[in-house]
Structure 1
Amino acid sequence: MADLSTALAEGVEAETMYQYESMAAPSVKAQLGIATTRIGGGVALSILHDVTGFWNKALGFGFEEPVTYELIGRVVDFYRSQGNTRTTFQIAHSVLPPDWEEIRAAFGLRPASHYVKLACRVEDFWPGESKLDVEPVRPEDVRQWATVTFRGFGMPEEGFTEMLAATYDHPDFHPLAAWDGDTMVATGSLFVRGEVGALTADATLREYRNQGAQSALLARRAELAAELGCRWLVTETGLPQEGRPNPSLNNMLRAGLLPMYSRRNWVWEPDGE
């Protein structure tokens, strides 16, 4: 994976997440307490009413500006200004400075789970198969697509479905869905940034799992990425703990995506400082 830089892999993930949250309508931002900003080449994303913690994260740092005590302080100040009491820093290990232990201790950043970043060349992707139909999402199905995504994730839907659906109007987002007849059962999205296609929003309704939906969605997005001129596919998922497999990771590996590196999550809470 030496040809795909860490900067590109981290940058497309940060931009995907930034657009997911920043494109929400003003009414949805007010409802969920959404605030987003760009700091030092990375992004800081805050949703006050996110009980899952997934959408509160700061990432993409260490490339335009080095990771320093001052940079982390600016990010933490943003979350304090929003009244947010928890966020996750996601910073590639290769850009952490030699004094990272001192910096993270000063701000009370505690180590948490790991993510694994995966990528492959578009031509190296191996198509998957399923009896389900995979199609681009039509305008009239956008709300349903967002709803199925959050139900597949097991996340709250109110407000968040509107947030996710808003990305349909962004020219670089390409949402797709798997159907069993007239029933939408699984979702995925492709976000294109230059020659990199990010695979995101992968979710399947519980009763339709193990039927090849995600493999088929991965394959269709790979085809679409090639049509749009992408050279690389990239994604990320949780690194499973020993004895607890991650089916999504297994699907990605079978499709030809290869691990680039793992990245630790660092959780900030004001009480930890």
Structure 2
Amino acid sequence: MKGVPIQSFSRAISALKAINRHGSMTMMEISRAAGVPYPTAHRIVQTLMYEGLVEQEPARKRYRPTALVQSLSSGYQQDGMLVEIARPEIVALTKKVGWPVSIAIRVGKNMMLRDSTHANTSLTFSQYYPGFTLPLLDSASGKLSMAYADDDEREQILKWMRADQDIDPDYLAEAEMALNPEGIRAKGYAVQGRNYFNHTPGKTSSIAVPIFNKGRFEAAMTLVYFVSAMSLNKALETYLPEMLATAQNITAGLARHKPDANLSAA
């Protein structure tokens, strides 16, 4: 893969993802989020409106996703059981340690939250809901996912990122060298000293541990805590054993689950 095959299509997807993530955006906000000039953003939004995926809010120059966006995921059921099994486990963990816990899977060049307990605790700066995305190389969950990816898969992801004109090549080279997949797999966890790609940049740190399904990496379970509350070493000492035990419970639950025969035959 030498580059992004259809740049306009990639930009349209970026715009739709941004609108869906924020719920309501102005044209200028869409332009910045998609990294395109204002006239291009206008053409993209007009196309999305024509296809019924986006609509303009009444009496306001803001644009929001329509219910038709949900149809794009109608055939995707892979992580439904993951969320069902993980939910009671992460709620119990948050009740025990106080900090919010999330489950994330890799989607393209990002990690996407599938569930979190931010609404179950006061020890959080912001709420994060399913669909929120984080960059692969600047999040504990993303580093974990990259570490457990097959070598060929990891290299393909990095090729996509190198072809992305919005990603600084010097930053990417530095982040790639710092990744250390072997070290992460040996330790069984990944960390992010400060989270900069969230609603409160620099104010939280994260620890992520793996969840497996039939021996393969399935998702990352991440605990987020205030940087001001404790050092990373103290957080690892205090919370890592509970996190690993919870992740093992989820892994065991996935192992016990038998796929629906009707879905398997589809």
* TM-score (ref. length: structure 1): 0.28
The structure with the largest alpha-carbon Rg is 2
* TM-score (ref. length: structure 2): 0.28
Greater relative CO (CA pairs within 8 A, separation 6+) = 1
Name whichever structure is richer in strand by fraction: 1
Name whichever structure is richer in helix by fraction: 2
